[in-house]
Copies of this chain bind each other. A is one copy, B any other.
Amino acid sequence: MAQETAASGERTRRTHGERTRKEILDAAVELARVEGLEGLTIGTLAEKVGMSKGGLFAHFGSKDALQLATLDAALEIFINEVVVPAQEAPPGLERMRALSQSYLAYVERRGCFLTAAAVEFDDRPGPIRDRLQSVIEARAALVREAVEEAIRAGELRPDVDTEQLAFEVVALTVGANVEYQLSKNPMVLERVRKGLAAKLAAIAVPAKGQAARAARRAK
């Protein structure tokens, strides 16, 4: 999925250009993580990658384009570190758990760029806000799918409110991210894990012996 061999004729030139762009965007993501996408500055970024302002500017054409490209680069990291690893887990309950685990590991390593950008741009109409809205909707859909798979697989009760559960899982982890970034208290991460585990256990279809009782209780 990741490997795609290009015709080697043009390779050198294009590879160079794309590497430069990638290096710029890696630095931009790192800078924006601290300063925000609005605080991201062409001058500071140029200095960080050892390039002139004009030279760097030529890569993007406007600050808006730089911000969008930076957001996309951050989303690529999100996908690589959160979504892809979870996709390797079997669909259903296990994938739900894998998604939460990989998200929390990502939060612990670098903080959730998506959350930071959403809070920064929720009052700034424009292409960045639009993109964030659709990405956040896509994330919710991803979790909903995992919930639906778990129901189809008979791992979660069929009467589970899919949207509601997906919402709670996302909100809990996002809220934990906010608190963790400020406090860096590892207990925060432990508490989300514990809370999520308890929540899933409470609505899981119980194993063998308890099944009859559970069915009666659920009516």
Contacts and interface: CB of A to CB of B under 8 A. Distances in A.
Copies of this chain present: 2
A115 interface: yes
A119 B37 CA distance: 13
Interface in A158-181: 163-164, 167-168, 170-176, 178-179, 181
A92 to B, nearest CB: 22
Given A111-B122, A168-B172, A171-B171, 5 more contacts: A34-B124, A38-B39, A111-B123, A167-B188, A174-B179
25 contacts: A35-B38, A36-B36, A115-B178, A116-B119, A118-B179, A119-B119, A119-B120, A121-B182, A122-B182, A123-B181, A129-B182, A132-B182, A133-B182, A136-B182, A136-B183, A164-B194, A167-B179, A167-B188, A170-B179, A171-B178, A171-B191, A172-B175, A174-B175, A175-B178, A202-B202
